Amino acid sequence: MQILIRRCALLTLEPRERLEFDLLDLVSGGRGLATEREWFAIAPHLTREIVVSDAEAAALGAISCSRWTDAKALEATCAPAEIESLLAKGLLVTQGSETDTRDQLVRETGWRQISAAMHFASRWHGVDTEEVQKEFAEIHGEDLMKALGPAPPAVRERSAAAERLALPAVAPTPLDALLDGRVTCRNFDDARALTSVELAAVLFRTFGARVVDAHAPGLDLLKKGVPSAGGLHPTEAYLLVQRVDDVATGLYHYHAIDHALEPIRALDAAEATRLARTFVSAQPYFVNAPVFVIPAARFRRNFWKYRNHSKAYRALVLDVGHLSQTLYLAATELGLAAFITAAINEVDIEAAFGLDPLEEGPLAVMGFGARGPVRAAIEFDPLGAVWKAG
């Protein structure tokens, strides 16, 4: 039976070097260090980076990613052992296989290769940052400068002070008070649940569709309170609810048009806490927030229009920035507090919500709720908007 093979659609090969102790080099008068190089293959349809040999890297460069080739014909240019190994690693694909199905999904989505490599190579699984956080929490002021070196200046100066054109002073408005009060929270109130009204207000103002525009047959665009490339708004809101009146603890999806929660899975309090800790990579000061909101990008929705576009992934990242600031302001207006973090375990979040990482990808975790009465963890509030002097 004829077996047809081709290389996977998107593949990035990265050479990495590591230093190893070399006794022979040391006794010969050298530094005692040897350089070892390895090739790492990054392919979106796989769940991890794959180490390949020099010969396998060369074979991958020689095999077409668009044309199916008979397996026997490949043996004229590639050793059978290399082909077998690359098939086992999922970097070569046989027609009609399960790997082919996953690879075809990548082809149909319209990823830009370099963006796909960055996104899938930066996903975390089971990372615990608490020890790192403790280490940095113990370093302050001059000690931080000693550890990391001089910090770049806060502002780049392009002219002398005397040459700068002073702008008119800005008269304060309620917007300034709102912006001044936007302080990232690390001290949530364990005893205070959100009301369903508060939850609804923040979700609608951040993610809710104000108008659905039938732009063309089969193409609905959304008008929300935030901008989005092409009016596509491909970012979905997934929720981990821990403490909200009249909403059971569990995992949900927010329907932006119907302004409704779609239940995904019920949780008890202990499991919710465990997932919260996992989602934010064990950053302890976020774990007890009443609600987590996970912005997840729907790649096909965005790449449908911006297919293989060099700016398409950047637009998805911009979406999360717009959404997070709006969530902060919506929460602050209600007297609540919020946070956002990029230090998240994407793979664990995908598993919890049943997301296919080739279809939807979490890019951050946001959360909000009532701030606690005591500042047990440091919060950056130089204006004293929340924590008054003394």
pLDDT tens, position by position, 219-231: 999 999 999 999 9
Percent of the chain with pLDDT over 70: 94
Start-to-end CA span in the chain (Å): 80
pLDDT of residue 137: 58
- Residues 186 and 306 placed together within one structural domain of the fold: yes
- Residues 191 and 333 placed together within one structural domain of the fold: yes
Percent of the chain with pLDDT over 90: 85
- Residues 209 and 330 placed together within one structural domain of the fold: yes
More confident residue, 37 or 230: 230
pLDDT of residue 360: 97
Task: Note whether residue 385 is domain-resident.
Answer: no
How confident is the model over 350-375, as pLDDT tens digits? 999 999 999 999 999 999 999 999 99
pLDDT classification of 63: cutoffs 50, 70, 90: very high
pLDDT of residue 25: 64
Task: Note whether residue 157 is domain-resident.
Answer: no
How confident is the model over 232-275, as pLDDT tens digits? 999 999 999 999 999 999 999 999 999 999 999 999 999 999 99
Task: Note whether residue 153 is domain-resident.
Answer: no
- Residues 188 and 71 placed together within one structural domain of the fold: no
pLDDT of residue 134: 66
DSSP 247-272: B-SEEEEEETTTTEEEEEEE--HHHH
What number of CA atoms fall less than 13 Å from residue 245's CA on the CB side? 8
CATH assignment at residue 282: 3.40.109.10
**Residue 86, φ and ψ in degrees, nearest 5:** -70, -30
pLDDT of residue 136: 60
Query: Which of 109, 139, 154 is the C-terminal boundary of a domain?
Result: 109
Domain count, the chain: 2
Contacts of 53 (CB under 8 A, 6+ apart): 39, 82
Instruction: Work out the average pLDDT over 170-192.
Output: 96
- Residues 177 and 88 placed together within one structural domain of the fold: no
> Out of 285-289, 311-315, 375-379, which region has the weakest mean confidence (pLDDT)?
375-379
- Residues 339 and 213 placed together within one structural domain of the fold: yes
Instruction: Work out the average pLDDT over 171-188.
Output: 96
pTM confidence score? 0.91
- Residues 203 and 315 placed together within one structural domain of the fold: yes
DSSP 150-180: PPPPSS---S-GGG--PPPPPPP-HHHHHHH
C-alpha span between 312 and 308 (Å, rounded):
8
Instruction: Work out the average pLDDT over 178-189.
Output: 96
Query: Which of 109, 132, 164 is the C-terminal boundary of a domain?
Result: 109
pLDDT of residue 140: 58
* DSSP category for residue 229: G
Q: Report the SS3 class of residue 41.
A: strand
Task: Note whether residue 138 is domain-resident.
Answer: no
Instruction: List the domain range (segments joined by +) for residue 345.
Output: 173-369
Instruction: Work out the average pLDDT over 154-173.
Output: 95
Task: Note whether residue 256 is domain-resident.
Answer: yes
